[in-house]
Structure 1
């Protein structure tokens, strides 16, 4: 990114990141939905008051997952700050958990992935729809 750019350049809402890795049992699973809003320089993080929770988890587990996701987001944005100005408020809107495969490390990775997904949304044009080749016409 260019030195003059600031992240995020505009509000990026509903950025979803799913970290799912099947490498045996237990596996890794975390699902987060995050908003990135332009803000004061630095990183402000909060969990939405009406955090949506998909799946079953007790409140203590959810608190650990939220903390881990915030850590991953801050780590990834910290690496970005060396190249560009980071001035962002991050709001965690939803988490998806799996009874066996969710754990804090997976949520940390999902947080990092959410930042990467937001960067793609912010700085790369959306993919163009592929043209379908028309079938040869029979006369």
Structure 2
């Protein structure tokens, strides 16, 4: 996970998908996000893409509340990671998917935390090489 500079991410990690879905009764929990993790200055910066794709909700205030929960989850997960490389990352929210009944800010907080875990796991793998064209 660590790069030569001791920061995370060691390279861009794009299209990280995180789904938090828990059915323990009614209501249940559902949130899905896709985020990019880009190398940045030593800190955690969060932004919402100008072309954010939102599936399943059209209320801007509700979306903003859930976006804030994603950011909180991301920050919490980095803070809880403790020892290891310092986060030097710009996290860009690219997509959110809502369920009409089961989505709420707490579910998006968990999705944000999962996105960090998924990105940390992806950092263990080498970056994908460009596909070769046959010709």
Fold shared, TM-score > 0.5 on shorter chain = yes
Match of 2:120 in 1: 119
Question: 1:57–1:97: 8 Å Cα contact kept in structure 2?
Answer: no
Number of aligned residues: 126
Question: 1:35–1:91: 8 Å Cα contact kept in structure 2?
Answer: yes
TM superposition outliers: structure 1 runs of 4+ over 4 Å: 1-4
Match of 1:64 in 2: 65
Q: How far 1:123 sits from its partner (Å)? A: 1.2
CA RMSD of aligned residues (A): 1.8
Q: How does 1:32-71 map to 2 (within 5 A)?
A: 32-71=33-72
Q: How far 1:125 sits from its partner (Å)? A: 6.3
How far, CA to CA, are the matches of 1:49 and 1:57 in structure 2? Answer: 16
Question: 1:77–1:86: 8 Å Cα contact kept in structure 2?
Answer: yes
Q: How far 1:61 sits from its partner (Å)? A: 0.7
Distance 1:57 1:23, change over 3 A: farther
Gaps of 5+ in 1: 127-139
Match of 1:102 in 2: 103
Q: How far 1:81 sits from its partner (Å)? A: 5.2
Q: How far 1:82 sits from its partner (Å)? A: 3.5
Match of 1:84 in 2: 85
TM-score normalised according to structure 2 size: 0.86
Q: How far 1:2 sits from its partner (Å)? A: 5.8
Match of 1:75 in 2: 76
> Highest CA radius of gyration, 1 or 2?
1
Gaps of 5+ in 2: 128-135
Distance 1:97 1:104, change over 3 A: same
Match of 1:131 in 2: none
TM-score normalised according to structure 1 size: 0.84
